[in-house]
Amino acid sequence: MSERSWGGDMTPGSWGDGTRSVRAGEAAPVPGAPLRPSPVFAAPFHLGDQPPRAGGADAYARTEHPTLRDFEAAVGELDGGRCLSFATGMAAITAAVLPFVGAGDRVVLPSDGYYTTRLLAAGELERFGVRADYVPTLEIEAAAARGDLQDARLVLLETPSNPQLDVCDIAAVARATRAAGALLVVDNTTATPLGQRPLALGAGLTVGSDTKALTGHSDLLLGHVSTTDDELHARMASWRGHTGSTPGPFEAWLGHRSMSTLDLRLARQAVNAAAVAELLAASPAVTGVRWPWRAGDPSFALAARQMLRPNGVVSAELAGEAEVAALLAATRLWTAATSFGGVHSTIDRRAQWGADAVAPGFVRLSCGIEDTDDLVADLAAALGALG
């Protein structure tokens, strides 16, 4: 049990997801203290007659802050490592890549993952002489087996991939990257720390855009990186301090509060996704339904073996842009919006952003926590209106 964990003779590893979501990162209870820590709104801290950081004391919020530590302790327990928080998910991705590569290095990135990661490589990594190669999520394991990772400095996976929801074998790629002396980074945003534990599968770093399902209310920007390696943690902490990508205390506090309901939200979202995936698969207006936990999905067997629980993101394809617009116009409970993992159900036509290699009618559906019967009935009526 960590020093910050609460729980008598119990250990966090024996707790269920609901208990871990609520209790992760908590200090031992003190009579008269609040149940949850309040945010500390401070940039500088009193130094007194002590030198900066003497005895671990806080000095300046860009490099150390108690509210950030509370959030990081909680997320780190769920991830199974030490966590650093960042202002956004992309700030977290940046911190998981740039501190560990330099001119002449090669990185391997998913060609079908979050598009801004590819933009980071094209716009920034290549400018500094870092070569980026792109491999589809479904092909990375075969590429590793062929030895294609031998000269890579860093390999980044996103599984399930966003937005097409393909799954790759983290443990198999981890073995190949270790043999090659490369660092494996896994973007775990879609799965969340409750749905998948990349560090336990051999990854060096696990990254999350906590804007999405971890905090789940579509009201803040936040990200994190966790690791079990002290040297990697120290390098990222130095990067964060030098680049100033630290989140604000209110965002960290709000994220810590919001993640308490992660287990409950994921459970309802998964039930909704299962029902929505079946509805879409039965509709003549829809093709290419993907949800890794639906029997018959190309990623079903691996997802069932590698992942701990499903989530609420489904992808599918309609005939085109006009059909997506007609579907949205006919619904009352499905909102046109990007991002995913929130409490509201949303539909995002990915081709409109001009970055994903998908058809004009490809959509990512993020199932919220509304009543399943209501969501299904509303979507069924809208699909019926398409004729």
**Cα 331 versus chain centre, distance:** 28
| Active-site entry in 69, 82, 153, 212 | 212
User: What single-letter amino acid sits at 380?
Assistant: A
Residue with tokens 């979050």: 114
d(CA 43, CA 312): 38
In the structure encoding, which two tokens stand for residue 196, read together?
A: 């998948």
| Active-site entry in 17, 58, 112, 114 | 114
| Active-site entry in 70, 187, 210, 348 | 187
d(CA 8, CA 140): 44
d(CA 211, CA 251): 10
Residues of the chain by 3-state class (helix, strand, coil), percent to 5: 40, 15, 45
**Cα 16 versus chain centre, distance:** 20
Nearest to 100 by CA among 60, 155, 179, 180: 155
In the structure encoding, which two tokens stand for residue 181, read together?
A: 């002396």
In the structure encoding, which two tokens stand for residue 269, read together?
A: 């979202």
Q: What angle is formed at CA 168 by the lines to CA 338 and CA 191, rounded to 5 degrees?
A: 45
| Active-site entry in 4, 23, 62, 235 | 62
Catalytic residue list contains 187: yes
d(CA 233, CA 95): 10
> Would you say 95 and 238 are in contact if contact means Cβ atoms under 8 Å apart?
no
- How many CB atoms lie under 10 A from the CB of residue 43? 10
d(CA 350, CA 360): 8
User: What single-letter amino acid sits at 185?
Assistant: V
Nearest to 218 by CA among 52, 352, 117, 368: 368
Residues composing the chain: 387
Catalytic residue list contains 114: yes
Residues noted as catalytic: 62, 114, 187, 212
